[in-house]
Amino acid sequence: MTPAHRRERERAILDILDDLTIRTQADLVRALERRGYSVTQATVSRDVRRLGLVKVRDEDGRSRYTANGTEASAPVSRRVLRTTLRDFATDIAPGDALFAIRTHSGCANAVGVALDEAGLEGVVATLAGDDTILVLTRGPTDRERVLEELDGLLER
């Protein structure tokens, strides 16, 4: 499974939660299958954890999944960036108005795409190789702010 496929499935899960009442992970598996995703309950369980979905009680006292938890309330692109940074990044090194993010071999593109989609203010461009992303910011002030934000996303 590619990171792009996982991001697409996670977006579908959030859309499903907006449209339907999902009470169990089995309900979520069936809803995903109706949208063309062939997944197991174990995959859905990992998605639920990664997205920070929580169960809440309806007015009738029955529980359902929602994306109203702390992690899930962040925009999808930020959650994806956080996940890809934690999964693939090994180091972030500053320059004057740019910095480098080191990743595991073959993972730089996934992190670069997540950075681009997150639309971090002050980031002008990213350039991804095999295991390194160069991030160009407007200047040293933006670079420091973006580095702080990325460091915050890496905190566990």
Q: Which of 82, 87, 10 is nearest to 53 (CA)?
A: 10
pLDDT of residue 68: 59
- The CATH number of 3-66, from 1.10.10.10, 3.40.190.80, 3.30.750.24, 3.30.200.20, is 1.10.10.10
Comparison of pLDDT for 117 and 95, the residue scoring more:
117
Average pLDDT, the chain: 85
Regarding pTM above 0.75, the answer is: no
Cβ neighbours for 118, distance < 8 A, ≥ 6 positions apart: 75, 77, 78, 80, 81
Residue 70 clears pLDDT 60, i.e. is over it: no
Cα 144 from chain centroid? 22
Helix axis angle, 3-19 to 25-34, nearest 10°: 110
Looking at residue 126, its pLDDT comes to: 93
Rounded Cα gap, residues 32 and 16, in angstroms: 8
Residue 78 clears pLDDT 80, i.e. is over it? no
Residue with the bigger pLDDT between 119 and 155: it is: 119
Query: Which of the 8 DSSP states describes residue 130?
Result: S
pLDDT band at 96 (very low <50, low <70, confident <90, very high): confident
CA distances from 73 to 25, 54, 96 (A): 20, 11, 33
Note whether 110 and 66 are within 8 A (CB). no
**Which CATH number is associated with domain 76-154?**
3.30.1360.40
Give the rounded percent of residues in the chain with a pLDDT score beyond 70: 88
Q: Is the pLDDT of residue 72 over 80?
A: no
Query: Domain segments of the chain: what residues?
Result: 3-66, 76-154
The tens digit of pLDDT for each residue in 3-61 reads 668 888 888 898 898 889 999 999 999 999 999 999 999 999 988 888 878 888 888 88
